[in-house]
Chain A
Amino acid sequence: MSQLPDTARPRLAAKVRLKWDEVRQKPLLLFPEGLLVLNPTAQEIISLCDGQRTIAEIVKTLGEKFHSDTIDQDVQELLAKLAGKGFITIAD
C-alpha cells in the first residue's frame, strides 16, 4: 500500500464515528454494519484526524506524548488501512 504524504490532512469520513464505550470501557470505531475495538494508540491517532492537522503534525504530537520512535510507522499503517476502507478522507 502506498505511503500517504506527510502533508495530507486526514479526516474521519462522515459515516464513521469514534465512540467511547461506557459499558465496556473501551474506544470503538463505528461504521455501517460493523465496528472495531481500538487500542489506545489507534484511538489517539484517530482522534487527531480532524481534517486540520497534517500527518506530520499528528506524528509529532503523538511522538512527544508517547516518547516513541516508531509512531511514524504506526500512524502510516493505521491511516493507510483506514483510507483503504474509505473510513478517512484525505485533504491535501
Chain B
Amino acid sequence: METPRPYSLLCELTYRCPLQCPYCSNPLDFARHTEELTTTEWERVLTEAAALGVVQAHFSGGEPLLRADLPQIVQRARELGLYTNLSTGGTLFDEKFGTQLREAGLDSLQVSIQDADAKNSNRLAGGAPSFDKKIQAAQIARKLGFSLTVNVVLHRQNLDRIGAIISMAEELGAERLELANSQYNGWALKNRAALLPARAQVERAASVADTARRRLQGRMEILYVLPDYFETFPKACLHGWGRVFMTVAADGAVLPCQTACEIRGLKFENARELSLEKIWFESESFQKFRGTGWLPEPCQSCPRKEMDFGGCRCQAFLLTGDATATDPVCSLAPQHRLIAGAMAQAGADAGGNLVYRNAGESLRLEKEQADYDRRGLEYGIFD
C-alpha cells in the first residue's frame, strides 16, 4: 500500500511554560531540551510540511505565546494555505498579542482552563494564580472575533464539576468545548494514582456531557473523550502511526506523536538535519509502527486491527516495557491486568502529592531514570 501523506503538523514551539500542569504531554525530560528552532527554521519546517501534504498547523508548547515571533510564524503558515490553530494556556494573551495574531490570520484559538473552580484551577495549573487571566484571555479572544475552543483536561480532581465546566464555556461564548480525559503517559502517568477517576465519575460525566451536547447542538460543539482505561478497546492512537499526524518538537525533533519520545530506544531525526519528507517516508521511527504488518498477536488476527492499529505505542511501552506489545487497555491484551491494577490503586493519592511539570521535577525524574538504568533495572512503574 502506498504510504499516506500527513494532514496535520503539531508545532511545539517551546517547552517553556508559566504553568506546571501535572498531566502535561511534554516529555518528562523537557528541561534537558532547551534548544529552540529559530523563526527561519520554523518557516522552513512549515514550507516543507505544506509540500508534503500537511493542511493544518497546530501551534502549542509549552506556552507558544512565549515566542514573540508567533504572529510571524502563523502568518507564514497562512501564506502557505495551512489552517492554523493555536493552543495556549492564556495567561500571556492580551489584546495586543491577540490583535497581532488576528492580523496574521490565525483561524482558531484554543484556551486551556484547568477547572471551573478558580481555586482548584489555580492549584492544578501550579505556579502563580492563572484562572482569572485565562478567563480574561477567552473574553478578549471573543471580543477580537476569534473562533474560541475551551479545552479542559478531565481527571479525578475536576470530573465531578463537568456541569459547571460546560456552563463556564457557554458563558465565555466558546464555539467548541474539548473535554478530553487525561491520557496516562508521561507526567500524567507519574500522577496516575491522584488523577485516574472512578468508574462512577466517568459514567456520570459522560451522561452530563451527552445531555449538554444535545441541548447546545449548533451553538457549542462538545467533544467528550472517554478515558481509554474505561473502554473495552484501545484508541486508534493518531489514526495510526505515521499516517495522518506529525509533530515537530521545540528543539526540532520530528516525532510521530508528541509523546513518542517516551519510547526509549527509538531514535528520532531532527528537522535541522533532514527534510520532513525524508523523515516521514524513510526514517526508522516513522516506519517502525506504520501500518499493521508489525502487529503482535492477538492484534494481528483481530478484525479491529485496521480500526485501532493495536492502540497507543507510548502507553504499551510505558506500561509493559515493550513498545510492540498490544496496548494494555485493550480487554484482549495479554497484559490487560496492568489496567485493573491501576484502577484498584486509583484515588489512593487523591488530592495530594501531585508531581508538577517544572524544570526541577524534570531534572529529578531524569536522574531517577538514569539511576534505574545504571542499576540495570527494567523500566516499569510496577517494579
Contact = CB atoms under 8 A, between A and B. Distances in A.
Interface of A: 13-15, 17, 19, 21, 23-24, 28, 30-33, 35, 83-86
Contacts of B170: none
A23 B218 CA distance: 32
Looking at A15, A21, A84, the one whose CB has the most chain B CB atoms below 10 A away is A15
B218 A19 contact: no
A83 B145 CA distance: 20
Given A32-B149, A35-B7, A19 B81 contact: yes
B55 interface: yes
Contacts of B176: 32, 86
Interface in B39-53: 51-53
A90 to B, nearest CB: 9
Nearest to A29: B83
Contacts of B220: 86
B341 to A, nearest CB: 33
Contact of A32 (B52, B55, B110, B145): B110
Contact of A86 (B83, B85, B218): B218
Interface string B45-89: 000000111011010000000000000000000000101010000
B217 interface: yes
Cβ-closest 10 pairs across A and B: A15-B147, A30-B83, A32-B108, A23-B53, A15-B108, A86-B221, A32-B149, A32-B85, A14-B147, A17-B83
Given A15-B175, A30-B107, 13 more contacts: A14-B145, A19-B55, A19-B81, A23-B51, A23-B52, A24-B5, A28-B55, A30-B55, A33-B58, A85-B221, A86-B175, A86-B220, A86-B221
Contacts of B52: 23
B199 interface: no
Bin chain B's interface residue count: 20 to 34
Contacts of A28: 55
Contacts of B56: 30, 35
A33 B56 CA distance: 8
Contacts of A84: 217-218
B138 to A, nearest CB: 15
B85 A35 contact: no
B367 interface: no
Contact of A21 (B55, B58, B110, B175): B55
B275 to A, nearest CB: 15
Interface string B324-337: 00000000000000
Contact of A83 (B83, B85, B218): B218
B219 interface: yes
A23 B108 CA distance: 23
A35 B52 CA distance: 17
Contacts of B145: 14
Contacts of B107: 15, 17, 30, 32
A35 B108 contact: no
A17 B105 CA distance: 12
Contacts of A33: 58, 85, 149, 178
Contacts of A83: 218
A14 B175 CA distance: 11
A83 B55 CA distance: 23
A14 B51 CA distance: 25
29 contacts: A13-B147, A13-B175, A14-B147, A15-B108, A15-B147, A19-B83, A21-B53, A23-B5, A23-B51, A23-B52, A23-B53, A24-B53, A30-B56, A30-B83, A32-B108, A32-B110, A32-B147, A32-B149, A33-B58, A33-B85, A33-B149, A35-B7, A35-B55, A35-B56, A35-B83, A83-B218, A84-B218, A86-B218, A86-B219
Nearest to B7: A35
